[in-house]
Amino acid sequence: MTTAAEPEAPVMRGNRRVLCHIDEVGEAGKGFILHRIFKDKPEAVMPVFLVPDGNDIHCYMNMCPHQGITLEMKPDTFLDVERKLIQCSTHGAKFRKDDGYCTKGPCIGRSLTKLPVMIDDDGMVLFGA
């Protein structure tokens, strides 16, 4: 019986997890599956994504509030064709980049779950508060 290799321990800076370098985030975003995110549930995973917004970067849980499905149809493609709004590829719901609020689609008035990130002096995107 073959089992999947356990993911490496996350790279940390202080109490924040290193996601990537800011230059690795494409103009349509970048997705991640975070492993070992909960100490009491080491098998649990958390799908998240980053989206650029001018000089800012925002991080959200990769889960549409309409049906709880992931947003992207293609890897690392979280924005609409104009690159102005986050888009759920399944039902076309659109969300603002800065706060995740749904402005169009079946979940109007609801929001994506925003997660804390920061960019350190080396340009690394760090996850956590």
Quick: pLDDT tens for 44-97.
999 999 999 999 999 999 999 999 999 998 999 999 999 999 999 999 999 999
What token pair was written down for 20? 């990537």
Domains along the chain with CATH numbers: 13-127 (2.102.10.10)
Rounded CA-CA distance 68/11 in Å is: 28
List the structure tokens of 41: 């549930």
What is the model's pTM? 0.91
Residue with tokens 């995110």: 37
Give the confidence band of 7 by pLDDT, cuts at 50, 70, 90: low
